[in-house]
Amino acid sequence: MRFGIALRTMGKAAVQEILRASAALAESARLDTLWIPDHIAIPPDDAEGSDGRYLDPLASLSWLAAATDRIRLGTAVLILPYRPALPTAKAIATIQELSGGRLELGVGVGWMEAEFRAVGVDRRARGRISDEVLSFLHAAFDGPGDRAVSNGQSFLFRPNPAKPRIWIGGAAPHALVRAARFGDGWMPMTDDPEKLREPIAELVQRFAEAGRGKPGVTVFGAVGRCSTDEDLERLATLESLGVDEFIQGARYDDLDGFRRALDPLLDRRDRFQSR
């Protein structure tokens, strides 16, 4: 099982000093991944906890790629309907190229009505648009001779590094259908084994029916709030269900807060891996 942690690119923590130091701590601790969220237009009445301050995820990952050497970098999750397919694919390919292939692409369809209004997209079309963007991403990265087509225009999609792994966020059943069609795995926002048992079994079945291999599952949760034994038991159960990665999520405003989230994760990781 891999272990990662979410960085807060919102609110008071979204400053270069905290982000750089947090990324350095995670990398020096040999964590596998760093993950960042996506919001593009927070209305004033939904700004509690962030004050409406959110850094762009793709620009942030590009900056973090230059500030790190080994750790993998991911979106959790990039909201596909907010952005046009071709410029988004170009940004993704650029980060993958310049990071040395360290990008992990978690994607979702979005939910906040106010954001959809702000970007001028019909929220009811979010599933269809997401599927169109995912189809384009696959065609662009996998096109013969690096050739792709957008709006009837053929062009060279370069740079064209290895396509990043694609994790489909969201809930069953729609996310599972989308994952089996477009993704390498599923990224649910829970670490409750009982909420994951049936959906993971369904995901495995859908991948098999599509003639694909074993799907990946990356979960968000929290360790350090329960006893060590309870955390280790939960991790073991998650692994038995097919979970490949555990991501520690936490709210924090400063570097000390990040350390308080990181320390129990490292403790549980080390104990879990030394069983």
- Return d(Cα 94, Cα 91) in angstroms, integer: 5
Give rounded-to-5 percent helix, strand, coil for the chain.
50, 20, 30
pLDDT of residue 231: 98
- Return d(Cα 263, Cα 266) in angstroms, integer: 5
Q: Is 12 exposed, middle or buried (0-12, 13-18, 19+ CB in 10 A)?
A: middle
Beta bridge partners, 42, equal: none
pLDDT of residue 130: 98
pLDDT of residue 180: 98
**169, 77 Cβ separation under 8 angstroms:** yes
pTM above 0.75, yes or no: yes
Q: 234 pLDDT band (50/70/90 cuts)?
A: very high
**219, 246 Cβ separation under 8 angstroms:** yes
Tokens of 120: 């001028």
Average of pLDDT values for 221-246? 98
Taking each helix axis from N to C end, the angle separating 174-182 and 126-142, rounded to the nearest 10 degrees, works out to: 10
Question: What architecture (CATH level 2) is domain 2-273?
Answer: Alpha-Beta Barrel (3.20)
Q: 100 pLDDT band (50/70/90 cuts)?
A: very high
Map residue 176 onto helix, strand or coil: helix
What average pLDDT does the chain have? 97
- Return d(Cα 115, Cα 168) in angstroms, integer: 20
Tell whether omega for the bond before 15 is within 30 degrees of 0, i.e. cis.
Answer: no
Q: Cβ–Cβ contacts within 10 Å for residue 232, how many?
A: 17
Using alpha carbons, select from 41, 179, 52 the residue that is nearest to residue 106.
179
Average of pLDDT values for 11-36? 98
CA geometry: angle at 58 spanning 52 and 62, to 5°? 120
pLDDT of residue 187: 98
Domain boundaries of the chain, sorted by first residue: 2-273
